[in-house]
Amino acid sequence: MNELERALVGDSYAASPEHILDGLGDEAAHRSVEGTPHTIYAELWHVAFWQQISLDWIDGVETPFPERPSAGFPAQTDSEQESWDQLCRRFFDGNRKAAAVVQNAERLGHLIRCPSRPGSPVRTMTVQEQLESLAAHNAYHLGRIVLLRQLGGVWPPPSGGYSW
């Protein structure tokens, strides 16, 4: 496994996504923490949302950039229609697909079009650059999930994980 794959699915920068999400159920995932803008569920939904958009762009589907930031987080109906376990499966399925793209070294250099915020020009980048951006985005939000777990008293996970 190379470092980009490890950044997506492994323990490159911290605990792996599997460990970060281990042991959480619906109640803990939906629990609000005072002073924070999102629940763990909302953070992971956001990650899965952008992960799918990144995969679309890599596959040549120019999925539009959301009109407003709130569109990248779940509405109440989204949370009601997708359980925590379903959301985790969706995230891990996309996460494995992103890591699998890394296996095709020839494809990493291909240029793709990535729509930008409304009013900004479409960006062009390589598949590798988009995957690096995805890995950084995932790391940021998975770090927020760790903090929410710490604040909620549900860290470290049963499988272990870094406690510092």
List, for residues 18-64, the tens digit of each pLDDT value: 999 999 999 999 999 999 999 999 999 999 999 999 999 999 999 99
CA pair distance 12, 93, nearest whole angstrom: 19
CA pair distance 18, 157, nearest whole angstrom: 10
Model pLDDT, residue 164: 58
Q: What is the pLDDT of residues 79-138, one digit of tens each?
A: 899 999 999 999 999 999 999 999 999 999 999 999 999 899 999 999 999 999 999 999
Cβ 126 vs Cβ 112: under 8 Å: yes
Domains of the chain in start order, with CATH, are: 3-151 (1.20.120.450)
Q: State pTM to two decimals.
A: 0.95
Classify 114 as helix, strand or coil. Answer: strand
